[in-house]
Structures are given as C-alpha cells and as structure tokens.
Amino acid sequence: MGITNQINFRNVRGDVFGGVTAAIVSLPLALAFGVASGAGPVAGLYGAVCVGFFAALFGGTPTLISEPTGPMTVVMTSIVASLTASNPENGLAMAFTVVMLAGIFQIVFGVFRLGKYITLMPYSVISGFMSGIGVILIVLQIAPFLGQKAPKGGVMGTITNLPTLLANINPAAAILAALTLAIIFLWPRKLKRIVPPQLVALIVGTVVSLLFFPNADIQRIGEIPMGLPTLQLPTFTPGQLTVMLLDSAMLGMLGCIDTLLTAVIADSLTRTEHNSNKELIGQGIGNLVSGLCGGLPGAGATMGTVVNIQTGAQSALSGLTRAIILLVVVLWAAGLTSSIPMAVLAGIALKVGIDILDWSFLKRSHKVSWKGSVIMYGVLFLTVFVDLIVAVGVGVFIANILTIERLSELQSRGVKVISDTDDDVVLTPEEKYLLDQGQGRVQLFYLSGPMIFGVSKAIARQHNALKDCDALVMDLSDVPHTGVTASLEIESAIRDAVEKGRQVYLVGAAGKVKRRLEKLGIFELLPPSHLFTDRTEAIRRAVAATGGQVVTPVNSEVSAAGLEPV
C-alpha cells in the first residue's frame, strides 16, 4: 500500500476538468458553510483547501472530493457556539483545536484498521441521524434567510424566537434568499454539468442585491483577508479538555461515516474499490492541517464527488487540482466575495439541508419496518433536540437489542433435545433406529448455528426439559461459533449431566469451539473415549452403554421401511 493516493497522468484532461468543475461547485458551499458555522467564510475556504488537498494526496479513494460538508458544519457550529460561550477570548482557537484532535482520531482509526467497522450501524440509525442534521441545518438558516442575526441557543433558540424573526423580516434579504432557492431548484438538469446552480445563484443574488437593493440594510460577508492563513496553535484549558476530547471524537467519527458512505457511492460510479483505512488516514491528515490553518473540518462530499466523476476524473489529480484552484481564490481573489449577501449563502446552505434529509426512507420507513421507523424518527428527534452523540448511542443500542432478540429467536430453533424419531432434526435412518433401540434412555442434545449469548436461554430451557435418561449425546457438529455466555451454558448442561451420573458423549467440537470448551475445562469431565467426530457412532456407543441391543440393519432402506433388521 503506497503512502500517496492513486495519482497518474494518463487522464490529465479529464482530471483537470473534473477538478475545475468541483472547485466551482465547492466555492459557494465553502463560503456558506463558513458563515453558517460561526467561524467565518474564510474558515470555509481554508477547510476546502486543506482537507481537499491532503485527503486527495494521502487518501484511499482516487476520485473522492473532500471539503466541509453539511453534517460536519452542523457539529462544528455547535462546537464553536459552546466553546466561545464558555471562553469568549480563546473559544474559536479551542474549536480549531477540536478539529485537529478530530483529525488525529481519524488517523488512529485508519492506522488500527477500523475502517470496516465505522459504518457497521443500522441504516435506520444513519438515516435518522443524517435527516436530523439536515433539519438542524435548515433551522439554523431561518434567521439569515429572513435577513436577521441568528439568536443564541442554536436550534431551540431559533424555534423559540420564530415569532419575533417572522415579525421582523427584512424584505430585501428574504427576496434574495428566495431567489437563490428558486435558481437552485429550477436550474435545468442539462445545464448542471456545465455550470452548477449554486454558483449561478451566488452570482445572480449578489448582482441583484447591488443593482436593485443598493441602499437596503442587507448583511454581507465583508472583507475576507487574502494571503496565507495564520497558524492556530493548539489551545485548551484543563476544565474544557474533556469536553473538547468528546467533541473531537464525535466530529472524527461523523467525518469517517460521512466519508466512507461517499466512498461507497464513488465505488459504484467508477466500478472500483476504495481503501477505507487509507482514506481515514488521508482525511485525518487533512483535518489536522485544516485545524492548524483555522479551517473547518471536512469529509467526503457526495455532490462534489459525483460532479468530479461525471466530468471525467479518474485519479486523485482532480482533487489536487480543485484544492489548488481554491487556494488561488483564497490568496488573490478573496476580496471579490465581500459583497455577497448573507441571505444568499443562507439559501444555498438551506438547500443543502433539504438535500441531506433522507426523503426516500422517510416516505417508506413505516412500510418497510415499523420498528425501524420508530428508531429512525427517534434518532432524528434526539439529534435535533437533545444531542448528536446521545442520538447515535441510543439508536445503535436499541437497534442492536432488537436485532439480537430476533437473531436469538431464530437461533433458538436450532437447540433441541431428541429422544425419538418424531423430531424435525434430520437424522439418518440408522440414527433413528438406534434412538428407538435406546427406548428413551439415550437423548440427543442437538445445537446448530452460531451460539450467541441470546441463545443461552434456549440452551438452559432445553437442558431443564431433559427427561430422565442414562446417556446424553451433545452434538455440536453444526456450531461454527460459541460465545462466552453460550459456552458457559453448555458447560453447565454437561456438568449437571455428569453429576447426575449420566454418560455424556460430545460430538463435533472442533476449531475455536473446541478451544473455548477446553479453556472451560469441559474435556476434563469427559474421558477421551466419549469424544466423537461422528454422531452415529456416538449414539451407537451410548445405546450400548445403557444396555440396549445394538444391531446394525443391512441397509438404510430396510431400517427406514420399519422391517426387522438382520
């Protein structure tokens, strides 16, 4: 595995064109997210440059475009607000420190090869979480959309102050925001590949504001400092360190999920396969540098990635090209953005929030699964009104409990005690004949499938239902895995049978199952002659040990027909 991403010059024209197009798409979004976060528009530009360049250079998805995204901006907005409220002097510097720590977390995730586990969560949780973030982004844009400053208190502050915001609408700003949304929604699909509607809305909205509302009281971006960024040294206070670590872990995890989901989309479009762990390292380096430069955190961006691929990009050269173009804008052309109305950026960000909502699953979730629907809406509610970490934690916990319950119910069907030939377990004709010869004194304890901890109750229930017998054949031939709880329950069943003086024969314990039972000391309870790989032979030995007359039929057909064996 190379250190850098897949960079080649076999498709220079397509990669450069893809990078230029992605840069055009990124510019208005970077400005909008920078303003929405509270860190300023230049923070959005620095984030787009730093994360985009280093994630493209060191990542594991050649065509992925990385930049500040809606979900990352929502979390960053909360972090900036809370840290600046608790420490007005150093709060913003501490927020950028959180971005650096989030990058370090992502690098650690990649180094320890945790990429394949990051997205192992139920879709209902991911859908509810992303939709909740979309709702938050929409709500936070209401105030600037109406031409007013955002009230304190985030989502709840905006909702509680909604009557006041509506009563004091700035007509000029609201018209510009509505015009922005109209352009983005109504822009012809055929033209989107040529000119992104966000850029058209940005330019048209700014021009209209200057021509038709030159004297109106409209909030604008203002001057953006041009040149290289001032390095942000890590800043923290002992009292805030724990909070910063939790925020950075949440930000890093969200960036991983956002990126890897986008990487899967890139794979489906390019028919390639990304390297998850390498991608996380690249994203981590990008966020670490972005925090040092005072930029927003970023992740894989679906819109930029799709545009990049559709315009001909095939290698990471496109991502590098995009970052360099944006850097040129930051160094020499940032002054041109000073007249952009905040309402126009609010309209762009609000459209992103609408797109983040998982409309497809929101409309169908109740038809697919009412439990999944409840989880999805619960996570959405907790994300918007409580906390993002709580939302994901509660959602994953409940979803996993329901999944384990269902799996345990299904696996419990593979735990059976057999004493005659009327059970539905597939037995050979000879095994049926032998059990009949045992006359109930020999019982077969059959287990199949992975024995997770939820199956332990079924094992205990069947164990307690064992009838009086002289010999017990425990068949583990069809058990590929036993958890600790199920292993202890198997041990309990064997020990109980031995203590009651029953002959116990163990069949099919192999591999990891055998090693776990050995560590529990089960094989010390049984003589070596009671360990078998063949179930038929174990049943034959058990019948013989209980005094039954074992006569092997001439063939299985004779036994199956119920004729007297010879």
**Residues 6 or more apart in contact with residue 472 via CB below 8 angstroms:** 442, 443, 445, 466, 497, 502, 503, 504, 505, 542
> Are the C-beta atoms of 535 and 508 separated by less than 8 Å?
yes
Q: How far is it, in rounded angstroms, from Cα 77 to Cα 252?
A: 15
Could you tell me which of 444, 434, 428 has the C-alpha nearest to residue 557? 428
Could you tell me which of 400, 480, 403 has the C-alpha nearest to residue 447? 480
9 — pLDDT class (breaks 50, 70, 90): confident
> Are the C-beta atoms of 373 and 235 separated by less than 8 Å?
no
Mean pLDDT of 26-33: 92
Instruction: Indicate whether 564 pLDDT > 50.
Output: no
So what's the pLDDT on residue 421? Answer: 52
pLDDT tens column, 178-192:
999 999 999 998 887
Q: Which residue has the higher pLDDT, 93 or 554?
A: 93
Could you tell me which of 539, 544, 522, 529 has the C-alpha nearest to residue 432? 539
Instruction: Indicate whether 554 pLDDT > 60.
Output: no
* Segment holding 84, helix H or strand E: helix 70-86
So what's the pLDDT on residue 557? Answer: 45
So what's the pLDDT on residue 560? Answer: 43
pLDDT tens column, 59-86:
999 999 999 998 999 999 999 999 999 9
So what's the pLDDT on residue 364? Answer: 86
So what's the pLDDT on residue 354? Answer: 92
Mean pLDDT of 16-32: 90
Question: Looking at 89-93, 117-121, 372-376, which range is the least confident one?
Answer: 117-121
β-strands 299-300, 415-418 pairing: unpaired
pLDDT tens column, 313-346:
899 999 999 999 999 988 888 777 888 999 999 9
Which residue has tokens 């762990």?
277
So what's the pLDDT on residue 299? Answer: 95
Q: Is 299 strand, coil or helix?
A: strand
pLDDT tens column, 264-306:
889 888 888 889 999 999 999 999 999 999 999 999 998 889 8
> Are the C-beta atoms of 479 and 513 separated by less than 8 Å?
yes
Alpha-carbon distances, residue 148 vs 130, 142, 144, 217, 220 (angstroms): 27, 9, 5, 10, 11
Written as six digits, the tokens of 299 are 């992740």
> Are the C-beta atoms of 29 and 352 separated by less than 8 Å?
yes
So what's the pLDDT on residue 205? Answer: 94
Most confident of 96-110, 130-144, 445-459: 96-110
> Can you give the pTM of this predicted structure?
0.78
> Are the C-beta atoms of 379 and 132 separated by less than 8 Å?
yes
So what's the pLDDT on residue 561? Answer: 39
pLDDT tens column, 196-248:
898 899 999 999 999 998 888 898 888 877 777 888 889 888 888 899 999 99
Mean pLDDT of 499-506: 91
Q: How far is it, in rounded angstroms, from Cα 276 to Cα 118?
A: 9
Chain mean pLDDT for the chain: 87
So what's the pLDDT on residue 425? Answer: 66
> Are the C-beta atoms of 221 and 337 separated by less than 8 Å?
yes
Q: How far is it, in rounded angstroms, from Cα 501 to Cα 496?
A: 9
Mean pLDDT of 528-544: 91
For the chain, report the end-to-end CA distance as a whole number of angstroms: 67
Q: Which residue has the higher pLDDT, 416 or 45?
A: 45
Q: Domains (ranges, CATH) in the chain?
A: 12-402 (no CATH), 413-560 (3.30.750.24)
